Structure 1
Amino acid sequence: MTVQQMMAAGAVCLAAFSMSARAQTASAEPLRNVAQLSATGSVEVQQDLLTLSMSTTRDGADAAAVQLQLKQALDAALQLARQAASPGQMDVRTGNFSLYPRYGKDGKINGWQGSAELVLEGKDFPRITGTAGKIQTLSIANVGFALSREQRARVEADAQAQAIERFKLKATEIARGFGFGGYTLREVSVAANDQGYTPRLRVMAMQAKSEMSDMAPPVEAGKSTVLVTVSGSVQMK
């Protein structure tokens, strides 16, 4: 390598080092006139999705016999539920199906226990409760309410619009409060969730259902409050 080439290479390295040093210095400089803030939008809406689970338990000395009893109880319930099923209005699915040994004081297996579950879910509350009232091989174990996907999406859009407007208003107020004419958005994040009361039916009260044929249990949905939070930082200018 000639002397001229060595000098040129050294100049390039020096320039690169200088640019890197300036970039590090710039990145190390503290942010100025930046405000962190958040705003929340909320919408209260009626819960429109009912989830009703039904279950039964069996106990016996033979595992195959217990499993067969559970299967027969679940098959009978499924047959009735499928006749009333309607997409979105009442969807039917099986839940937990378990079989496990029971142990005696000597640590040896002395029997078997098992459980089976059926879940009815949808927007047609009378259809769901009416079907549950006709099923005699399972008992109601739990009732829960929530928002359907369509309801949640619609409400979240409204709550998000509220949160964004409140964020913009708060950013403007903060900027003016510090003597600035306005702001620019640096970064932002959006988070959504809903809060609601989910009633539960008393299981003991529903065990007597087998004595009341075709008795639909009373249910009443509550409300959910959908919250959307917009948070981030703005550059006041």
Structure 2
Amino acid sequence: MSRFIRSAAVLTLSASTLASLSAMAADELHYNQISLRAEVSQEVARDKMIVTLYTEAQNADPAKLAADITTTLNTALGQAREVKAVTLRQGSRNSYPIYDNKNQKITGWRERAELRLESADFPALSKLTGELLNTLKMANMDFTIADSTRKASEDALLKDAVAAFKARAQLATDALGGKGYKIVNLNFNTNGYPQPYERGAMMMKAAMMDAAPAPEVEPGTSKVTMSADGVIEVQIP
């Protein structure tokens, strides 16, 4: 019986010792640690143009309405496919009933279908847009940053952010009189990449587009920022 009690006491002591060592290790882990933040930024050109066109009509016969919308859209798609620099995407298509004044009886149907055009070749897309406005209407014209441009800018900003963080870490170490530092953790965050930047519908006269040059567009730039947030441990002599 006494042996069991002594063994239990030894186990209790061992557990207590381990807990103390863990607490000491935790305290040591955070010893001389400093949280730092560094930011870098650059202006990135919005180099992708996005134009959304649509056709809309109404008819008492929903089948005829759908056929007319499909014909108009297919004609525009065939014309747009001739321009190799432009990527085509069909947007939303929906129809809904039209009711009488008492809102009880369906008197007809209205349908709308969208066509989305994307390109880095602004003159080509502007010219095509003007031509398609003979049969379609414009919902909006947007500008954004292409995926390849985004990746390149992120790679460049990452290198700059690391350099900025290391410079700040060294500055903090020198201010504390440390002989060096080590990075405990480091996280990166990027912001500023825009959603498509809407400029609104271009007020073009479709009949004039054959004789007039394609309109000039100015997409502008976006300020993109990358932050480096991390913790360093300063080695104090």
Whether the TM-score (by the shorter chain) exceeds 0.5 is yes
Residues 90, 116 of structure 2: 8 Å contact kept = yes
* Cα shift readout 1:73-93 (whole Å, capped 9, x = no counterpart): 1111001011213xxx32111
1:60 aligns with 59
Q: State the one-letter code of the partner of 2:107.
A: N
Say if 1:21 and 1:62 are closer, same or farther in 2 by CA, change over 3 A: farther
Q: Distance in 2 between matches of 1:18 and 1:182?
A: 32
1:124 aligns with 121
2:178 aligns with 180
Q: Unmatched 5+ residue regions in structure 2?
A: none
Q: Distance in 2 between matches of 1:177 and 1:17?
A: 39
* Cα shift readout 1:36-66 (whole Å, capped 9, x = no counterpart): 1111111223322111111121122232222
By how many angstroms is 1:183 displaced? 1.6
SS in 2 for 1:84: coil
Q: State the one-letter code of the partner of 1:168.
A: K
By how many angstroms is 1:20 displaced? 3.5
2:90 aligns with 94
Q: Distance in 2 between matches of 1:114 and 1:185?
A: 60
Q: TM-score, normalised by structure 1?
A: 0.83
By how many angstroms is 1:180 displaced? 2.0
Residues 44, 225 of structure 1: 8 Å contact kept = yes
Residue identity (%): 28
Q: Distance in 2 between matches of 1:29 and 1:103?
A: 75
Q: 1:150 aligns with which of 148, 151, 160?
A: 148
Of 12-21 and 171-180, more deviation after overlay is shown by 12-21
SS in 2 for 1:218: coil
Q: Unmatched 5+ residue regions in structure 1?
A: none
Q: State the one-letter code of the partner of 2:144.
A: A
Q: Distance in 1 between matches of 2:215 and 2:13?
A: 82
Residues 123, 216 of structure 2: 8 Å contact kept = no
1:107 aligns with 103
* Cα shift readout 1:1-23 (whole Å, capped 9, x = no counterpart): x9868865764565245313532
Q: Distance in 2 between matches of 1:199 and 1:65?
A: 34
Q: State the one-letter code of the partner of 2:95.
A: L
Residues 184, 236 of structure 1: 8 Å contact kept = yes
Residues 57, 115 of structure 1: 8 Å contact kept = yes
Q: How many residues align?
A: 230
Q: 1:222 aligns with which of 216, 220, 228?
A: 220
SS in 1 for 2:218: coil
* Cα shift readout 1:130-154 (whole Å, capped 9, x = no counterpart): 2222222212221111222221111
Q: State the one-letter code of the partner of 2:76.
A: A
Q: TM-score, normalised by structure 2?
A: 0.83
Q: Distance in 2 between matches of 1:156 and 1:5?
A: 64
By how many angstroms is 1:199 displaced? 5.2
SS in 1 for 2:81: helix
Over the aligned positions, Cα root-mean-square deviation in angstroms equals: 2.7
SS in 1 for 2:192: strand
